[in-house]
Structure 1
Amino acid sequence: MRKVIIAGAVIAAGTVGYMVSQQGDLGSSSEYSPIAYVPADSVIFSGQFEPFPLKDYLSSTMFAQTNMPDDLLEELDDSDDPKQRFLASLVTSYFTAARSVESFQTTFGLPDQIKTFVYAVGFMPVVRYQVTDEQGLWAVLDKAELDSGFKHEARTLGEFKYRAYTFDDTEKGEFFEVVVAYENGWATWTINTHANTPSDLALALAQTKPEASLEAAGVLESIQKKHGFIGSTLSYVDHKGIVTALTTAEGNRLAAMLTKAMEMDGSAAELDDIRTPECQAEMGAIAANWPRTVAGVRSADDLKITPERSYMKAALVVESNNQVVLDALTSMQGFIPSYLNETQVFGMGLGVDANKLGPALSSIWSNMLEPSYTCAPLVEMQAGIQEANPAALGMFTGMAQGVKGVAFGVQDFSISMDTAEPKLNSLEGIISLSAEEPAVLFNMAKAFAPPLAQIQLPSDGSPIDLSTIIPLPAELDIKPMLALKGKHLVVYNGAKGEATANQLAAETIESNGLLNFSVDYKKMLQPLLPVLAMAGDPEVTEQLDALKNIDMRVKMDIHLNAQGILVESEADIKAPSK
């Protein structure tokens, strides 16, 4: 039954990204080791091995939720279907509880310090977390049952009790159930379907241990050592396991469940074209070159959580064993200016070495065409790649010769509401183009922008007032300045923009990244809130009340290292002012 596969995949994908952490070991406690119940062939895993300060985290990050969005409730509740009303009640309970930290913890029976594990038994997602109040767990579900009339079925595995909520049950014997259980301070959520066996369910409910467990396999320790993660939390997605599930009938537990589900659904033939020895070998080789996506933290300083502030920095790596592609991607990395590491309202940088872009893409293109595939979908893919020859980039890279990156940052801005229409009152910001010969590129650009033709760019870094050359709308009360600052062509406005431009002049261009993005939500939203409030829409006004409390900064960097594609993300969140 396709719905089973889709539901399992959606729930699993939604939980893969969950990761919270604190310094510690890999949690091999002699009293209880949750990873002893995780199958070694689980294609996803996210677990924390030391208690996470949930109460402090909620105190610093929970923004006031005055009301649940009406459209969400209407969508869930616009039906006489008890199942829909059951979900609507759960959503209502969540938003009601989220009005305060104490209410949230009490409603769901959550401790001040918590451990959580997310993994998969085949395509059965398993979410396990610590609970201090068992009755709090059941009370939320009991209320949803009372509100909707949708009831659970009480079942047992030996003496172990659990609840099953049946959301689908067909005459063909297909069924889909959400299963909830509690034991020894741990709540467990999973699914039960016609595609898994009773032993799979027992494994998902931690009533039996797998023959080969994640604990015994040493996978987590190897990830920790390879990527320099501390042992408090680790996450991964196993690309090789997913490919095995797609290309074999019973190569792992996920493959067996997919096979059974699709056979009952009558759609088993849909995988016939890749479930061949050729595809198994050739797709397996591709997966071996890109085996996993892993995530973790590298220092205790990357996790500082108090009731007043939560700071978290995590690293995600798409592992690569394809040295040709990895070298090509590394070679095309360009320059990200240092001002993007400073506090910005909004900033973004793209680091690309234009001189290396064409050769790098050609190298990747050739590498993808090099294997002589016999697997039909891969043969078709290669035919499409063959037509996308990157040689056409030659014209572009010739015009952008020497370019190493472009970036912009907004340090500050304000909007005046004194007139009938909102007006940009001030702007502090900069746009920069970094290149080996920025003056040459500027002179080339004159041919495409006639208003620039009269400009003679001073080599000493003296600025030129662009507002005297290019007409600007009256609403934009800005005076953009153009200047050559060392290896950087810049356009800036305001004192902060000028200071940033002068700082940039001393920076040498180097290969240090592909992409940088950052935003300070408080600085960005506060000037915009009066403008948004002018709409007069009650729903918009209600949402603005919540936005006023946001004091959060996020940042993301993408670059390459010896292990693969590295994505580093930061979040700095302060508790709302009281």
Structure 2
Amino acid sequence: MKKILIITAIAAAGAGAYFANQQLQTSPAAYNVLDYVPADTPLLSAQLKPFPLKDYLNSSPQLKKAKDQSPVQNVAVEGSSQSKFFLSIAKSYQTSLPDTELFLKTFGLADNIRAYFYMLGALPVLKIEVENTQAIWDLLDKAEQESAYSHQSGKIQEIEYRAYRLSDSSEAQTTNLIISQNNGLLTVTLDSSLNKETLLSSALGLVKAENPITDSGILEEIESTYDFSDQNIAFINHQEIIKGLTTVNANQLARHLSLLFPQQDQENPLSSFRTAACQAELTTVANNWPRTVFGYTDLSVTSTQSTMDLSTVIESKNQTIITALQSLRGYIPQYTQNIKDNVFALGFGVDINQLSSATTSILTDLKTPNYQCAPLQKMQASLQQQGQNYSMMMGMAGGMANGFKGFSLAVLDYSMSKQGDKPVLESLDALLSYSADNPLALFNSLKMFSPDLQRLQPPADGSAVDLSEFIPKGLNISPKMAIKGKNLVIYNGEKSEQQADLMSTEALTKNGLFTFSFDLTRMFDPIITAAELSGENMPKEAMFLQNYNMRMKFDVDIKQQGIVFDSHVSNEVKK
């Protein structure tokens, strides 16, 4: 039963966290779900304004078509009644998703929905606003009929619920999936025979939290610290998770884990963490890395297009590590940021001259103090063995590429044609560059590794050198190399030449660590052309991409608050 509870809780948490990043919302002011969320929750995700679900579905590509059911059907035939039950719901989801109206009707959802995902200790709670409560019961009844998997009815005060047993019938302790509806909200949670009834009452919205998050100031502090929109707020609280792992009853999570693992011996997976040394030392680590916070910086959705910008910050109070990581930031050129103009772009920014000192600072910090907590001791022992090698490698890299600040590339455009009976590259507009304090001197130092490079000497005045002799015949490209400001550039095509010229005036500033972006439609269309020219058929599951303009971008940077991951996703239905 313990394994089932852990696996189910993790799965529910993962699914809830993903769903929360997509569309979780708050409930009506008359019934504030946040009043039922304890301040010591390890995880919370809640958007503060209604999410336009109908418009979002209409503007988003559907990955599966209704007729593509065979994988799910095969599993359903072979699975247990329990698995058949959940797969029936999955089939209903898969069947209805391509038709937005059918999807909303099947799951009883309104055009704009509100929901929450949070944890009551180790217990996940998902709440979603529903417009038609009967649709939920009909969906569950259908799944029961198709699977022969039944529920037990329960009631607490005036609220009725269904309990679906997840644990084996042979086990004394039970774990149930609880589904209930109240106040226009669908509640999905877990219940165990180890839990007190008050916990389920709280999950069902009957008992408010003794110390609710609404009185803690946590949400207000996150809102004032970060430039998130007022659409949502979400976090993972590392400090509360560490309390749960290292203490017996310091928070609700700790109390739940103590019930789940009551024995204090080697069979208890928490025994190595629940020592005085681990409690003190892991608490210090958690205080230095207190939370991971999430929030939209932009959210715009209509029936024909959607744009979502999400920022994730791993908070850090460890100034030694943050300062070292910030010193590594390098230069990423502007051409990698033109998400609407590029087919694909990739950029790494790193100040190679800071690599050795930053690595030394980070390793020294991680090896100090000498930990007494067994898991931390193991980590330090590994660093002690490998740390010197890391520092030497970083020092060698810095010596070989002195002044290096970054490497980037982009494909601005490309097309395919047919030669004989084979598809070939018709055209390529692409740009590759590295940036350095003295790019020409760095290139000259690299010549020793390749005899072919000895013949190349790009002029310092920025004029180009033709590289056609180095390119295999039949590729239909004529790349050129040039020094543009603080950059050595290799380009092919008119657009990339224009971007290369613009780099001559760009300042070599520390502006990031990593960027990656692509236009899925512009990447995909020439592939379709190549397949058609060769007489091959593209998989039907992939052809939906022809109807959507989809762009994605992902960035990593180090800021004063911590390690920052920014993502951008935009969809637009082709007219």
Q: Which TM-score applies when normalising by structure 1?
A: 0.94
State the secondary structure of the residue aligned to 1:518.
Answer: strand
C-alpha contact 1:77 1:85 (8 A) present in aligned 2: yes
Q: Could you report, residue by residue, the CA deviation over 1:168-217 in whole angstroms, capped at 9, with x for unpaired residues?
A: 23434232221111112111111122343222221112121111111111
Question: Cα distance 1:71–1:403, how it changes in 2: closer, same or farther (>3 A)?
Answer: farther
Q: Could you report, residue by residue, the CA deviation over 1:350-375 in whole angstroms, capped at 9, with x for unpaired residues?
A: 10000111111110111111212111
C-alpha contact 1:195 1:258 (8 A) present in aligned 2: no
Residue of structure 2 in register with 1:338 after alignment:
334
State the secondary structure of the residue aligned to 2:377.
Answer: helix
Residue of structure 2 in register with 1:575 after alignment:
573
Question: Cα distance 1:115–1:395, how it changes in 2: closer, same or farther (>3 A)?
Answer: same
- Stretches (4+) displaced over 6 A: 26-29, 264-267, 533-538
Deviation at 1:500, TM superposition (A): 1.1
C-alpha contact 1:64 1:100 (8 A) present in aligned 2: no
C-alpha contact 1:178 1:192 (8 A) present in aligned 2: yes
Q: Which residue of 315, 318, 321 maps to 2:317?
A: 321
Q: Could you report, residue by residue, the CA deviation over 1:127-171 in whole angstroms, capped at 9, with x for unpaired residues?
A: 111101011111111111111111121111122101111122343
Question: Cα distance 1:312–1:260, how it changes in 2: closer, same or farther (>3 A)?
Answer: same
State the secondary structure of the residue aligned to 2:269.
Answer: helix
Residue of structure 2 in register with 1:11 after alignment:
12
State the secondary structure of the residue aligned to 1:87.
Answer: helix
Q: Could you report, residue by residue, the CA deviation over 1:542-575 in whole angstroms, capped at 9, with x for unpaired residues?
A: 2122232332111111112111111111111112
| Structure 2 residue identity aligned to 1:472 | P
State the secondary structure of the residue aligned to 1:271.
Answer: coil
Question: Cα distance 1:12–1:117, how it changes in 2: closer, same or farther (>3 A)?
Answer: same
Q: Which residue of 537, 559, 562 maps to 2:560?
A: 562
Residue of structure 1 in register with 2:472 after alignment:
472
Greater CA drift, 337-346 or 414-423: 414-423
Q: Which residue of 371, 375, 383 maps to 2:381?
A: 383
Are 1:286 and 2:285 an aligned pair? Answer: yes
Paired residues, what number?
569
Residue of structure 2 in register with 1:101 after alignment:
100
Instruction: Give the alignment of 1:97-496 within 5 angstroms.
Output: 97-263=96-262, 268-298=267-297, 302-342=298-338, 343=340, 344-388=342-386, 389=388, 390-392=390-392, 393-468=394-469, 470-474=470-474, 476-496=475-495
Deviation at 1:536, TM superposition (A): 8.4
| Structure 1 residue identity aligned to 2:382 | G
CA RMSD across the alignment: 2.3
Alpha-carbon distance in structure 1 between the residues aligned to 2:468 and 2:5? 61
Alpha-carbon distance in structure 2 between the residues aligned to 1:328 and 1:67? 51
| Structure 2 residue identity aligned to 1:348 | L
Q: Could you report, residue by residue, the CA deviation over 1:90-113 in whole angstroms, capped at 9, with x for unpaired residues?
A: 111111111211111111111111
Are 1:505 and 2:504 an aligned pair? Answer: yes
Residue of structure 1 in register with 2:48 after alignment:
49
Question: Cα distance 1:176–1:518, how it changes in 2: closer, same or farther (>3 A)?
Answer: same
State the secondary structure of the residue aligned to 2:332.
Answer: coil
State the secondary structure of the residue aligned to 1:413.
Answer: strand
> Percent identity at matched positions?
36
Deviation at 1:70, TM superposition (A): 4.6
Question: Cα distance 1:570–1:80, how it changes in 2: closer, same or farther (>3 A)?
Answer: closer
State the secondary structure of the residue aligned to 2:110.
Answer: coil
Greater CA drift, 159-168 or 227-236: 227-236
Residue of structure 1 in register with 2:75 after alignment:
76
Q: Could you report, residue by residue, the CA deviation over 1:280-325 in whole angstroms, capped at 9, with x for unpaired residues?
A: 0000100100000001134xxx222111111121211110000111
Deviation at 1:530, TM superposition (A): 4.1
Alpha-carbon distance in structure 2 between the residues aligned to 1:418 and 1:32? 67
C-alpha contact 1:19 1:233 (8 A) present in aligned 2: no
State the secondary structure of the residue aligned to 2:128.
Answer: strand
Alpha-carbon distance in structure 2 between the residues aligned to 1:98 and 1:569? 25
